[in-house]
Structure formats: C-alpha cells, structure tokens
Amino acid sequence: MIGGWLKQRATRRRSASAGSALGRRQGAWLLGAAALTMAPHASWLPPWISGLCAALLAWRGLLLWHGRQAPSPWLLLALTAAAAAGVRAEFGHFFGKDPGVALLALLLGLKLLEIRAARDVRAAVMLCFFLQLAIFFEDQSFPVAALALCASLLGLAALVAQADPNGRSGEHLRVAGTLMAQGLPFMLILFVLFPRIDGPLWGLPADAFSARTGLSESMSPGSISALSQSGEIAFRASFAGEIPARRQRYWRGPVLTRFDGRNWQAEPAQEAAVPFHAADGKRIDYTLTLEAHGKRWLLALDFPGATGAALRHTGDFQLLAPRPVRSRVRHELSAHPEAVVGLAETAATLAAARRLPAGFNPRTQALAARLAAGAESHEQILQRAVSHLRNAGLLYTLRPPLLGRDSVDEFLFDSRRGFCEHFASAFTVLMRAAGVPARVVTGYQGGEINPVDGNLVVRQLDAHAWSEVWLGGRGWVRVDPTYLAAPRRIDDGLAAALPAGEALPFTLRAQHDWLRNMRLRWEALSNTWNQRVLGYNPERQRELLSRLGLAPGDAWRLAGMLAAATGVPFLCLILWAGRRRRRSDPLDRAWQALSTKLAARGLARQPWEGPHDYTQRVASAIPELAAAVRAIGVDYASLRYGPHSDSARLAALRKKIDVLRLP
C-alpha cells in the first residue's frame, strides 16, 4: 500500500518536474547552507545525531558530485523510521525542544537526499531557516548570529539558484546579498517596533532551559570549587559612580542555615516588597545584568536598598526576582554597604542559626568549648576564633583532599587544606558550637573591571562562600574566614590567592596577558551586543516608544507607525526599481521632443519613419510649418548620419525644436 503510494508519488513528481531535479549549483548552495546551519548544533546535539547528519550531507555531496540523483524512496523511508526511533530512544519522547531540534536536523539531512522537485528545494531551505532559529535556543552570541546570517544568505542563494538555474553562481550569491541588504531596513524597523510580548505564550517544555552553571540552594564540600573552573560570566554590573573596592563587593546569593553534618541547606525565608532592614548609610547605585541561571536570586550587592520594580526582599536580605530568571535580565539596583541588618532577628531564626547535628565533629566542639570558656561576650569568642584560625596554618587551594564523616574536624586539624566552602563551613560550625548564631552565605565575591568599557564582570569562578554571625546590638556581621588564610583571594582575586601550579581557566593565567586583553575587549563587545540587541525586551521597547511619544498600550498608533515605517523603505525600493535611465543621447532626446510636440496633432513619428519621410509628412499636413520642420529634419539627419557633430549645432537644433509653435 505504502509502496504503491510511494511509486505514485515518485512518478507524479517525476512528471511534474522533468529535468528540474537538483542541479549542481543549487545543490552546492543548499549543501553549504545546510552545513553552516548544522555546524553550531554539533556542539549540543547527541554525537550520533551530528554524525548521522554529517554522513547524510556527505552522501548528498557525493551524489551531487557524480551527477547522480536521489536514492530510492524505500531506503529513505527506512532511514527516516530508524532516525525517529533513535531520537525516541535518546530522549524518551518526541515533545520538547531538544528532540524537536534533533528531529529537524535529521529531517534536513534526509530531505536533502530526497530532493526531486523545486518545492523540495524550498522545503529544505525552510528547514535550514528553522534550524538557524533553533541555534539561538542555545547560543545568541555575536559570532553565532553572524554564522546564522551567513547560513541564511546561502539559503536564499539556493532559492535564487532554483529560480534561475542558468545564472552563474556568483550572480546567485550577489542577488541573495542584494535582497538581504534591501531587507535590512525592514528588519531594523520591525525589530524595534514590532510589539514585544512578555513571557511565554504557553507553558514551555521542561527542557526549555537546560542545566546552567551557578549556585544552588545547598552547599557541600567541593560544590563551589567546581564552579571555580568556569570562566563563564554570571552577571555584569555597571556603577553610576565609583566602583566599590574589591573587598566590599560581596554579591549575596542563597543563605544557608540548615546543616546536617555534611551539607548546608537554605531555609525558606519570608518575602516582602520592601527590605527587612533599614536601608541607610552610603548608597551605591548600579545596573545589574544577570545571565539566565534558572533560579530566582538576583545576587544583589550587600545590602540591597528598596527597588521600584516588582522585586522581592527576603528575611535573610537577598533580592529575588518574581519568577526564575530564564533569560538575561537587567535591573537598576542600589546597595547600602554600611547598613546594619538583623538587629531585631526572631528567636526562631537565631535558634536555627545555633543548631548543630549531634555527634559530628567532636574535636571542633572541644575547640569551641575552649574558645568560649571565660568569654564575656560573643564578640570576644569571635575574636578568639578569628585569631585561632589565622594561626592554624590553613592553606587555600582549589584541590582540597576528600573529607570523611567529620568534615570540619578533618579540615581544621588534619588536612588543613580547603576552598572557601571549607573555610565558611568550618568557621560557622565552630561559632555555632561556641553558642554564637552563625550561618553560611553563598554568592560571588569580587569580579573584574573591564577597562574597555568600565563594567564589572563577575564570573562563575568568583563564586564564594562566607559566614555571618549574629551579635547582639550589631545584628548580622559578615566574617569571611577565607580572608584569614588567603587575604589575597579577597584583595586580588582567585588567581592571585592560589599557590602556583593550580589549575585555573586558561585565560586567567598570568602569563597570557595579551590573551587576557583580547578577552576583555571581546567581552566588552559582547556586553554591548547583549545590552543593545539581546536585551531589547518589552520593557526597553516601552521606554523607547514613550520617548518617541507613544503611550504604552496605544496599539493602534503603534500599528500605524509600524505600517508607515515599513512603507517608507518599500517605497524607496519601488522608486529604485522603477527609475529609468534617461536616454543617454541628447540628440535622440531632442528628436523625440519634436515628435512629442507634434503628437498633439496626431503627427507622432512612426517607428519606421526616417527624418526625411517624417518631416515630409508633417510639412504636407501643416504647410505653415513646412520650411521649419524640413530644416529640422535636415539638421537632424546631418547630425545623426553626417561625419561631424558638435554641441553648438545640437544646441541650435534643440532651440529650433523648442521655438516651434503649432499654429
């Protein structure tokens, strides 16, 4: 049954498109477009799918090279079924972004092999366009955009080659380029004015935003040192005034209170539209551009002041977005580094900040008891703990040894090597054991100032963990135990604090200064790209439109403006297309003027009439003009056919025709 249908379909197509199968030129453009489109996908598609697509493309290329046509539909049907089964096995379902993209990629590869008619070429080009869009799910950076643009250009060239199989390849590309260039004004206008809509139109599939690196609601030994291997940008900040000193730049993420002996967990905190602390003291204004991380925290600089936007403050002084941050967002924020927070902390919170699981870390408990003995206040205990840790010979390293059950004991007394999470965890446990309320705060610390655009760039490797202790009368006080062992981590950043020979991201190493420099330039450029192009969201559009004098929600005026703005370039295009070059020969123009003038009497020159015949005819029709018209005819003939022609005589002829008056 299917065989019959296939055969019927094949013959129908063959008869519908005799000779219009894929030619070598169209094929080359199409293959180029497909290859360029698939290339970026290769880095995130499962390897077997990338491999299969590459094989299909190569197969098509080989067939094209040898001038052979598509393989049998049976084979392709079998391949399609196998590919679909493979996708099903890989992802477990067909719905969602990832299996969809994988299916599209395989379909494109198979479609290329199946091309028999013009519309197959079109379908393949459309598939290319879809896959170009799908690139942006994963990566919207500048180079990827340029790549997608090239791929679109090749796709258009394939369409041109399909419409004009006799043209040269260079011409196909030229026409496609012209179309793209002429489409550019439309693109810009629509990009700016087309109404942007907030949020998804429908529930996004679960895999819409796949795993991203970043902090989480829990911390265990090694979880932050894993982040320190990533040079990926977490967020950027641009300050209205001076950039605060590095040791003031603590960007607050999840606050971890619950400890089970190994892991730290966040406790749910109250939320409100206004801060839980008195936001006073010095104020720092800055704009935070946060990369998507799929969580709600905004990583505001300590301690956030009141905001105008619909942001939420928590009882542990974080700033949260109303919804998980699924795309890059920008917020105008303020910080009060000197604010006193948590003066009137609830008893429940303080109790939770003292709780330790029983039966863990006995040596630390003993140390805490020694530190607390005879202390008059929590401040004193804190002082003693700080000075103890400073002299404990702890080493800051990215490669701490594995720790066992009593992780704090092992760190403080045996291995003495650890990363910030070990320091923060050990210090907090020590303080709790001594009866002082304490908790771990995770977030980012420091960041790098890009000298090219003066923005502060904070990366995953700036992830950090520190402690907060609660002191009566002073509220929550930040203590960074890492600073005790490795002050340079806070003063100069990670690269300076680590002993030589530790594995660092390549571009952070000191000996690659020029590389670092290039990276900074590149990041400044991509920040501009992010702000201007990718960051153009409904909010920015509203801002821009209100600057243009359009009230928000003024849909009709916006539609009118959109239509008018699109109409202008279209009109320009029509004018460009309709322009006629003036006949280059002035003599011809003068001669034509005579005919135009006499046409009022029905005496227009017939195409076949020479100057002599024409003027004879005019002379006999209008005897009053006979002499003048004959003279014009003679002049024209001698200028046109005679050996000499000069501009003076041409001007005289033009004058004669000009002064001619019909009686």
Structure tokens at 133: 């869009």
Taking the complex as a whole, the smallest distance from the CB of residue 32 to other proteins amounts, in Å, to: 17
**3-class secondary structure, 604:** coil
Answer yes or no: are the C-beta atoms of 446 and 496 closer than 8 Å.
no
- 334 binding other proteins? (CB under 8 A): no
Residue 121: alpha-carbon gap to chain centroid: 29
Task: Name the DSSP class of 43.
Answer: T
Taking the complex as a whole, the smallest distance from the CB of residue 130 to other proteins amounts, in Å, to: 7
Binder of other proteins out of 170, 578, 623, 663 (CB under 8 A):
578
Binder of other proteins out of 69, 210, 270, 327 (CB under 8 A):
327
Taking the complex as a whole, the smallest distance from the CB of residue 569 to other proteins amounts, in Å, to: 8
The residue among 178 and 270 lying less far from other proteins, judged by its C-beta, is 178
The residue among 28 and 156 lying less far from other proteins, judged by its C-beta, is 156
Structure tokens at 630: 């004959």
Binder of other proteins out of 55, 62, 163, 652 (CB under 8 A):
163
Q: Could you give the CA distance from residue 527 to residue 520 in angstroms, rounded to a whole number?
A: 10
Structure tokens at 311: 């942001």
Binder of other proteins out of 1, 2, 89, 197 (CB under 8 A):
197
Phi, psi of 301, rounded to the nearest 5 degrees: -70, 140
Taking the complex as a whole, the smallest distance from the CB of residue 639 to other proteins amounts, in Å, to: 23
Q: Degrees (nearest 5) of the Cα angle 189, 192, 196?
A: 130
From the candidates 406, 409, 480, 635, give the one annotated as an active-site residue: 480
Residue with tokens 């039966």: 359
Answer yes or no: are the C-beta atoms of 63 and 72 closer than 8 Å.
no
- 96 binding other proteins? (CB under 8 A): no
- 187 binding other proteins? (CB under 8 A): yes
From the candidates 98, 293, 464, 635, give the one annotated as an active-site residue: 464
Binder of other proteins out of 576, 600, 644, 659 (CB under 8 A):
576
The residue among 402 and 577 lying less far from other proteins, judged by its C-beta, is 577
> Among residue numbers 207 through 246, which ones bind other proteins (CB under 8 A)?
208
- 413 binding other proteins? (CB under 8 A): no
Taking the complex as a whole, the smallest distance from the CB of residue 144 to other proteins amounts, in Å, to: 8
- 377 binding other proteins? (CB under 8 A): no
Which residues face 148 on adjacent strands? none
Residue 585 vs residues 513, 581, 589, 607, 632: alpha-carbon distances, Å: 65, 11, 7, 17, 17
- 450 binding other proteins? (CB under 8 A): no
- 164 binding other proteins? (CB under 8 A): yes
**3-class secondary structure, 466:** strand
Binder of other proteins out of 75, 78, 133, 551 (CB under 8 A):
133
- 19 binding other proteins? (CB under 8 A): no
**3-class secondary structure, 419:** coil
- 573 binding other proteins? (CB under 8 A): yes
Taking the complex as a whole, the smallest distance from the CB of residue 37 to other proteins amounts, in Å, to: 11
CB atoms within 10 A of CB 517: 12
Taking the complex as a whole, the smallest distance from the CB of residue 637 to other proteins amounts, in Å, to: 24
Binder of other proteins out of 6, 42, 63, 180 (CB under 8 A):
180
Binder of other proteins out of 190, 206, 525, 563 (CB under 8 A):
190
- 564 binding other proteins? (CB under 8 A): no
Q: Could you give the CA distance from residue 273 to residue 314 in angstroms, rounded to a whole number?
A: 9
| Residue 480 is among the residues annotated as catalytic for this protein | yes
From the candidates 172, 316, 336, 420, give the one annotated as an active-site residue: 420
- 132 binding other proteins? (CB under 8 A): yes
Binder of other proteins out of 202, 514, 556, 608 (CB under 8 A):
202
Answer yes or no: are the C-beta atoms of 250 and 443 closer than 8 Å.
yes
Q: Exposed, middle or buried: residue 553 (CB in 10 Å: 0-12, 13-18, 19+)? A: exposed
Structure tokens at 349: 């919170």
Phi, psi of 505, rounded to the nearest 5 degrees: -55, 140
- 199 binding other proteins? (CB under 8 A): yes
Amino acid at 595: S
The mark string for 514-543 relative to other proteins (x by CB under 8 A, - otherwise) is: -------------------xxxxx------
Taking the complex as a whole, the smallest distance from the CB of residue 322 to other proteins amounts, in Å, to: 16
Q: How many residues bind other proteins (CB under 8 A)?
A: 61
- 607 binding other proteins? (CB under 8 A): yes
**3-class secondary structure, 285:** strand
Bond prior to 303 in cis (omega within 30° of 0): yes
Closest of 190, 186, 173 to residue 26, by C-alpha: 173
In 17-140, alpha helices (H): 24-41, 47-65, 73-91, 97-114, 118-138
- 167 binding other proteins? (CB under 8 A): yes
Rg of the chain, C-alpha, whole Å: 38
Half-sphere exposure for 13 (CA within 13 Å, toward CB): 18
Q: Could you give the CA distance from residue 512 to residue 495 in angstroms, rounded to a whole number?
A: 12
In 399-502, alpha helices (H): 407-409, 420-433, 481-485, 487-491, 494-497
- 608 binding other proteins? (CB under 8 A): no
Active site residues: 420, 464, 480
Residues forming contacts to other proteins in the complex (CB under 8 A) are 118-119, 122, 126, 129-130, 132-133, 136-137, 140, 145, 148-149, 152, 156, 159-160, 162-164, 166-167, 171, 175-176, 178-180, 182-187, 190-191, 194, 196-197, 199-202, 204, 208, 326-327, 533-537, 570, 573-574, 576-578, 580, 607
